Chain A
Amino acid sequence: MRIRLFRLGVPAVAAVLLVSACGASTKSSSSTTTGAPSTTASTAGAMSGTLNVFAAASLTSAFNNAKTTLTAANPGLNLTYNFAGSNTLATQIQQSAPADVFASADPKNMQTLVTAGLVETPVTFARNKLRIAVAAGNPKKITGLADLAKPGVTVVLEAQGVPAGDYTRQVLASRKITVTPKSLETDVKSALAKVTSGEADATVVYQTDVAAGGSKIQGVTVPDADQPQITYPIAVVKATRNHAAAQAFVDSAVSGDVQKALIAAGFAPPQ
């Protein structure tokens, strides 16, 4: 009796595994069909279904604020974010991660996907500026980029390929300031964490990150003359299963609820 049950069990387990695997995909495909453009009375409520937005880490608080507004206006919308360094996200999309929208912190990472034919034509939706972040109270008395090269100042930057890091290195090179960072973090959030935890004295992030950094962070201005052109492109990922919502999100980022949230967080409009 026991042997018979066991022989039933093995194929049963296998069957369950198969069904659950299929189940996942059927679920998403079914939501796509229900997510087809529906004719409703409201014009702003055109977004529905599941939407995965891959966005650069520096967009975190702005996009999270936007989510509240968007889901309130679009009850049928299931919006999820994936925040990370733009290079990380670009690589993930190349590995066929399920993204519907890609919002990058620099054109370079977006271009990689354009060249690979993975995204539709990108549009610029925001601009940003670099800002030095130091611990509240500025104990090391940092007044500008030149102070980052002072001995006794522990600086961390972002790694190669992370837009904030690349921009910073570009600026430092043009000003001929040699900074030896103690670490190259994987994204702006990690870099800021090193400053708030007291391990590092300073890092260079976006002004929006400093604004979102709370009471533990203080900003030191980088003059406009030194600022690089920091433009944020956004694009619909071609492999999206919810094109309507994806396009709507992109439009909103350029001039809609999402754009409002970006301005409120300190981004400059795309112009």
Chain B
Amino acid sequence: MTLAAAIGLTLGNLDLDLELDVDGTAVVAVVGPNGAGKTTLLRALAGLLRIDRGRVAINGTVVEDPAARLRLPPEGRDVGVVFQEHRLFSHLSALENVAFGLRASGTPKAEARAKAMEWLEQVGLPDVARLRATQLSGGQAQRVALARALATEPAVLLLDEPLAAVDAAARAELRHLLRSELRRCPGARLIVTHDPIEAAALADRLVVLEDGQITQEGPLVEVTARPRSQWVASMVGLNLLCGVAENFRVRLPNGAVITVADECKGETFAAIRPNAVSLQRHRPDGSPRNVWPGEAGDLHVAGDRARIRVDGPVPLIAEVTPAAVAELRLAEGGCIWAAVKATDIETYPC
């Protein structure tokens, strides 16, 4: 089961221009900021939106090619979609919803219903079979929507922010279900999300989409360990700096210099974990050669962790303990010194 897409598409202010390959071996998550074009991409793949240039092929069969005047509508593509808002058919029962795709392709009623019942059991909702869509909770409805899409056993399964509209209480459980169902599903699976937890839980590969272009893609672990854009960095909670490297020093555009432990050359990323940043009110002595002054900015305390922005020649987010917050009186702001060990800095070429 493969999806091979080269898409050129202009929609309003958005210019989508990318190439994407998904096969059955890895679940791909498309992440990115709002307006990057993630949903537009998903709709184009599903056939709900025309592309201007390029080619989309499913299992080797071309389903869209503007240059060849070829375009299969959604019903002609072997694609299943789980939408953000379940979009169940409100006049049908849950069972009839799940059976819909099968009946639409000609499966006899009894057989379709039997299969639909199996899928409902698969998603853990055998008891709601007779209920109308309007009688289900948000989480239940989304599960039924998942079963409905899976029931047609599509070659490509697309999910558009499947957890976004589900309330927090049901989300974890649904995420768990999605994870196991996605593992089981043999098709090419692509999920669009802006939630890093969702991406981390469900995906094997990440594709980062920013402003219509892919800025980074690769295995989840790699992308999150070595972000190549600010957006990914903030998504995974890493500090990301970019500069020109020479030997063991990286010079930032504003002139500040970072000393690193690995030899590097040319355009280089430097990633620093927030908990590797230590803060002091006075300039520290000792080994760290990376010591910068800054202004203590926004402070967020969450449980046993606190994050604070430090604005200065080297802008950073530092993670400290609440005790440190109190001791350093960080809430008052003011001048602060940040220090990072060279060995705590990860460098990789741009």
| Touch between chains A and B, by CB atoms below 8 Å | no
